[in-house]
Amino acid sequence: MASKIRKRLDKTGVVCRDLVNGRSEIGSAAEAYDKRNGKELQWPLPNVHLGVSAENQEWADKRIPYLLQTPAAKRFVSLEPLLGPIDLTASPTNVFCEARTGPSDCNWEGDESELDPLPSSCEENTEYAGLCPICGSDASFGPSSSKTLLDSINQVIIGAESVGAHAGRECKIEWVRDIVRQCQAAGVKVFIKQIHLWGVNWDDRLFETPEAAKLCLGECKPKRVLVKKIDQFPEDLRIREEI
Ligand SMILES: [Zn+2]
């Protein structure tokens, strides 16, 4: 059975960098277990699915690139609680090495925080962002390839916020539908855990918007309802694909 590592939101970068370097708590525990059992450690661990969570674009842009840099048998992104629209077709990098077309043919690209600083003599009047951490050539701002945040992701999980049995902060159905469309276009599996719909009670008729509920139900004050049962989802969103 696959294990999932989650909810270390503040430590995502550290955990992923440690995994890359093979010195995480997870890696150490696995190594100890394998030694006891006389087995060689396989890396990345074949039974570990690695994931990050993101509630909006800002955190998707920050956390998913770390996940993409980390060796893993399978990768997932958990958009829970989903609190805004997210474009997963954005680029995971914002700086690239200028030597990719030069003699050293370095293909490095990443986040500007990974760059080495320019020599102090070059700091002024330069268009470069810093120096490539791999080959030391000049690095510039901009995505260098057509990669997206969904490249190398196996599954995206989507869930609206719940507070107990009730709906939490709003999750619009149009955000969910748009993310599903992006994943399907990229061949990434989708698992929709729970959504928000509008109605009077969870077991009555439910609608995608308050306007639609009012139109159909007449005089009433529709409220946002947490829906977990897949057969109550809109037909096109009844998707629970496993990896
Ligand atoms: Zn380079």
Pick the closest to residue 183 from 123, 124, 243 (CA basis).
243
Query: Which two tokens mark 6?
Result: 């989650």
pLDDT, tens digit, for every residue of 200-209? 876 678 999 9
pLDDT on residue 9: 40
Q: What is the pLDDT of residue 5?
A: 46
% pLDDT > 90, the chain: 47
* Gap from CA of 148 to ligand 1 centroid (Å): 20
Helix (H, G, I), strand (E, B) or coil at 128: coil
| Alpha carbon distance 210, 222 (integer Å) | 6
Query: How far away, in angstroms, is 131 Cα from ligand 1 center?
Result: 8
Packing angle, helices 57-69 and 12-20, rounded to 10: 10
pLDDT tens for each residue of 166-202: 999 999 999 999 999 999 999 999 999 999 999 987 6
Confidence at residue 8, expressed as pLDDT on a 0 to 100 scale: 42
Say how many Å lie between the CA of residue 103 and the centre of ligand 1: 11
Name the pTM for this structure: 0.76
11 pLDDT above the threshold of 70: no
Residue 92 contacts residue 186 (beta carbons within 8 Å): no
Q: Beta-strand (E) ranges in 54-199?
A: 74-79, 95-97, 109-110, 130-131, 138-141, 155-159, 162-163, 166-167, 189-199
Q: Where on the phi/psi map is residue 186: left (φ > 0), alpha (ψ -120 to 50), or beta? A: alpha
The tens digit of pLDDT for each residue in 133-164 reads 999 988 988 876 778 899 889 999 999 999 99
Nearest residue to 176 via CA among 63, 54, 83: 83
Query: How far apart are the CA of 108 and the centre of ligand 1, in A?
Result: 5
